[in-house]
Amino acid sequence: MMSVAWSRLLKSAYRKEPVTGFIVMVGAVDVVIGGAGASGSLLVFGLGTVGVALAWRWWQIQRSRVEEPTPAPEYYLPAQSSRPSLPMLSISKNHPPY
């Protein structure tokens, strides 16, 4: 049950950010191989890779929040027409419409 939830989380994160997801996966594999093989240097390298990837992603999120100004509304018609307004039409009682 946990593996299904974990795989869904990884798939959704990888779809949103494929570059960061790939770097995190490479670092995680290095961590697992370094931890299982008792290779401290590979373990530290993997942890550093994962840390740098996550810090880079966090920096991108922070930068996008700062740089996103509220877009100005785009009007397709001017606020007031440059033409004079049309006169009001009234039906004359002497000449009914045909």
Give the pLDDT score at 26: 86
Looking at the domain assignment, is residue 46 inside a domain?
yes
Looking at the domain assignment, is residue 32 inside a domain?
yes
Looking at the domain assignment, is residue 45 inside a domain?
yes
> Where in the sequence is the domain holding 38, given as residue range(s)?
18-67
Q: Which three-class secondary structure state does DSSP give residue 86?
A: coil
Looking at the domain assignment, is residue 39 inside a domain?
yes
Contact present, 27 and 49 (Cβ < 8 Å):
yes
22-25: long-range contacts (C-beta < 8 A, 24 or more apart)?
Answer: 23/49, 23/50, 23/52, 23/53, 24/49, 24/50, 24/53, 24/54
Number of structural domains in the chain: 1
Q: Encode pLDDT of 62-94 as tens digits.
A: 877 766 677 788 877 777 777 777 777 776 666
Q: Encode pLDDT of 17-62 as tens digits.
A: 778 888 888 888 888 888 888 888 888 988 899 899 889 888 888 8
Looking at the domain assignment, is residue 75 inside a domain?
no
Give the pLDDT score at 48: 92
